[in-house]
């Protein structure tokens, strides 16, 4: 089945009603053991359904064609407030599913956390530029010392001969030196940290290629996924004399969201989509906290719908891409191909490129190069 044939009553993603209606249903059906009590900052407004970031999310999400099994899995994760672990071969659309959820429910731009072997939990939660803060503190200290020296020279010029002084003597101390100025400009929430900011509606977070992470990262995520909160130690240490600090987010580095006593606590648990190419296994405690979905390579019917939807083509007998879909399916038997390679081939066909019949084989070898298997 390429796409859902009928809408099910319990669906929120791809369900009936307006996005606002379905958001309300999502809020209503909250498991008691997944209720969180973060207090939204009244002065903070998360990004809405406008702007360049939203346009990108909408564009990518609108072209996704989910089948019934995918919709069922997404909605199960939504109801249970659990991360969705999406596995499948490269190019089947795992990452695009996150954009489809955000676009369908109008939840704002997708937050993106691309994982590498060097990624740590703190990278996703927040960034603290300690070196930048120390550098700026040193510059302020040097500026203050220079100002004091100029002031001392100016005062020396006014002294009488009976009050000699040396203008080369060190300037008076300007008070105890602090390790840095205000900390807020040097702190910024990461993609996971921004997703956990207390908000009435959830954000969609894409944790891309988690199978490339260090072996410890999935385990490190467990507590955050369970509690929906985390602490920023740099803010917790100053909470006694500065309990509230505004800092930047993944969406905007300018200080916009207020953090109280160094703790970020969600109200609506974010919709987390973790993708994996199947390059490693995950520990059972991590898998137990996820809803798992394996995305299969799209069928002929689904490929046809994807091409029509992504390239805004109408169905008809003169569709100029059926032979390309057949070539894609034939070549995919001997090695993996990504759906966007087919879209590239159709786009070239529609643009009039590679129009000579004698170039067909070279055209297919150029555009539909297998990702695995024998080279063409």
Q: What is the pLDDT of residues 211-257, one digit of tens each?
A: 999 999 999 999 999 999 999 999 999 999 999 999 999 999 999 99
Residues 280 and 305 in one domain: no
Give the mean model confidence (pLDDT) for residues 10-16.
Answer: 97
Give the mean model confidence (pLDDT) for residues 306-320.
Answer: 79
- The residue among 294, 315, 347 that closes a domain is 294
Model confidence, pTM: 0.85
Phi-psi category of residue 354: left, alpha or beta, with phi > 0 → left and psi -120 to 50 → alpha: left
- Has residue 372 been placed in a domain? no
- The residue among 265, 294, 323 that closes a domain is 294
Give the mean model confidence (pLDDT) for residues 317-345.
Answer: 88
- Has residue 150 been placed in a domain? no
- Has residue 49 been placed in a domain? yes
Residues 275 and 242 in one domain: yes
Greater pLDDT, 32 or 4: 32
Residues 193 and 90 in one domain: yes
DSSP 340-368: HHHHHHHHHHHHTTT--GGGHHHHHHHHS
Domain extent for 315: 300-367
- Has residue 3 been placed in a domain? no
- The residue among 259, 294, 329 that closes a domain is 294
- Has residue 328 been placed in a domain? yes
Sign of CA pseudo-dihedral 103, 104, 108, 113: negative
Q: CATH code at 91?
A: 3.40.50.300
Model pLDDT, residue 227: 96
Residues 40 and 80 in one domain: yes
Please name the helix (run of DSSP H) or strand (run of DSSP E) that holds residue 320, with its range, or none. none
Q: Name the band, by pLDDT with cuts 50, 70 and 90, for residue 209.
A: very high
Residues 289 and 310 in one domain: no
- Has residue 373 been placed in a domain? no
Residues 350 and 214 in one domain: no
Residues 211 and 304 in one domain: no
- Has residue 39 been placed in a domain? yes
- Residues 264 and 37 sit within 8 Å (Cβ to Cβ): no
Q: What's the total number of domains in the chain?
A: 2
Residues 265 and 332 in one domain: no
Residues 84 and 202 in one domain: yes
Residues 289 and 304 in one domain: no
Residues 119 and 217 in one domain: yes
pLDDT single digits (tens) 66-75: 999 999 999 9
First to last CA, the chain: 30
Side-by-side strand order, sheet with 229-231: 229-231, 263-265, 257-260, 244-247
- Has residue 141 been placed in a domain? no
Residues 269 and 310 in one domain: no
């Amino acid at each position: 089945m390429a796409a859902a044939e009928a809408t099910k009553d319990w669906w929120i993603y791809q369900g009936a009603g307006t996005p606002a209606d379905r958001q309300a249903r999502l809020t209503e059906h909250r498991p008691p053991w997944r209720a969180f009590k973060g207090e939204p900052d009244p002065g903070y407004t998360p990004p809405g359904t406008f702007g360049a970031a939203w346009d990108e999310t909408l564009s990518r999400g609108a072209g996704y064609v989910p089948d019934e099994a995918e919709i069922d899995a997404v909605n199960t994760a939504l109801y249970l407030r659990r991360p969705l672990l999406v596995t499948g071969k490269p190019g089947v659309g795992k990452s695009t599913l996150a954009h489809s959820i955000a676009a369908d429910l109008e939840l704002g731009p997708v937050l993106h956390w691309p994982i590498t072997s060097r990624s740590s939990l703190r990278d996703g939660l927040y960034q603290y530029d300690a070196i930048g803060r120390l550098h700026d503190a040193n510059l302020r200290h040097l500026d203050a010392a220079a100002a004091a020296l100029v002031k001392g020279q100016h005062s020396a010029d006014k002294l009488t001969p009976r009050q000699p002084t040396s203008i080369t003597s060190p300037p008076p101390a300007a008070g105890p030196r602090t390790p840095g100025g205000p900390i807020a400009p040097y702190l910024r929430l990461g993609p996971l940290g921004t997703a956990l900011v207390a908000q009435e509606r959830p954000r969609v977070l894409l944790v891309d290629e988690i199978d490339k992470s260090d072996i410890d990262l999935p385990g490190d995520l467990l507590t955050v996924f369970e509690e929906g909160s985390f602490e920023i130690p740099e803010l917790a240490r100053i909470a006694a004399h500065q309990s509230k600090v505004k800092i930047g987010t993944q969406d905007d580095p300018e200080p916009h969201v207020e953090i109280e006593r160094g703790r970020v606590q969600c109200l609506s648990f974010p919709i987390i989509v973790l993708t994996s190419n199947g390059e490693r296994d995950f520990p059972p405690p991590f898998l137990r906290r996820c809803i798992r979905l394996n995305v299969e390579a799209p069928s002929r019917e689904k490929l046809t719908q994807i091409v029509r939807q992504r390239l805004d083509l109408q169905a008809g007998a003169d569709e100029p891409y059926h032979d390309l879909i057949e070539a894609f399916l034939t070549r995919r038997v001997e090695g993996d191909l990504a759906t966007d390679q087919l879209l590239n081939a159709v786009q070239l066909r529609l643009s009039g490129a590679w129009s000579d019949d004698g170039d067909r084989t070279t055209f297919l070898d150029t555009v539909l190069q297998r990702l695995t298997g024998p080279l063409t």
